[in-house]
Amino acid sequence: MSEGERQPASGRWKTYAATAAGVTVAAALGGRAVAPDTRWYRSLSKPPWQPPAWAFGAVWTPLYASIAWAGGRALLAARPEERRVLAVSLGTNLAANTAWNWLFFRMRSTQAGLVGTVLLDVSNAEFIGRVAKADRTAALALTPYAAWCGFATLLNADIRRRNMR
């Protein structure tokens, strides 16, 4: 039986509530920066394989839910001495996730966005590695998130290449 299964239900719910709150804050702060209707963004040359605008919300909603669930599950399964580092890793990942929107859309910089998304990919690898040590099922649940972020890196890189001025 894992450590998380030995905790009372109230402790489990508090952990999941905390990860859900963290993810919700990150999503809301990141969403405030997104501005696809600006003249700057509309003027960018984008690859024909870029998904339609509606797809981003449709994809990010379940990905954010998976981050909250997997983060909570891993925190509950982690050994007590590993929990703080795992929580910091989750927080760092959410900060990197949020930062991309601000780097790309608010700074109006395809280059800064590319640096941000590469850093997010590095953060994903570190975070998923820590999660895997605590709970392999939680780590597997994060693979679509990492894959989508990898796709976003390729998309950002192509937009950067097409718009170098």
Single pTM value for the model = 0.91
Report the chain's C-alpha Rg in angstroms: 17
DSSP secondary-structure letter at 37?
T
Phi-psi region of 46 (alpha: psi -120 to 50; beta: other; left: phi over 0): beta
State the Cα–Cα distance between residues 125 and 143, nearest whole angstrom: 10
State the Cα–Cα distance between residues 90 and 71, nearest whole angstrom: 7
Crossing angle of the two packed helices 143-162 and 53-77, in degrees rounded to 10: 140
Q: Write out pLDDT tens, residues 21-39.
A: 999 999 999 999 999 999 9
SS3 call for 158: helix
State the Cα–Cα distance between residues 91 and 84, nearest whole angstrom: 10
Q: Which pLDDT does position 8 carry in this prediction?
A: 65
Q: Write out pLDDT tens, residues 72-124.
A: 999 999 999 999 999 999 999 999 999 999 999 999 999 999 999 999 999 99
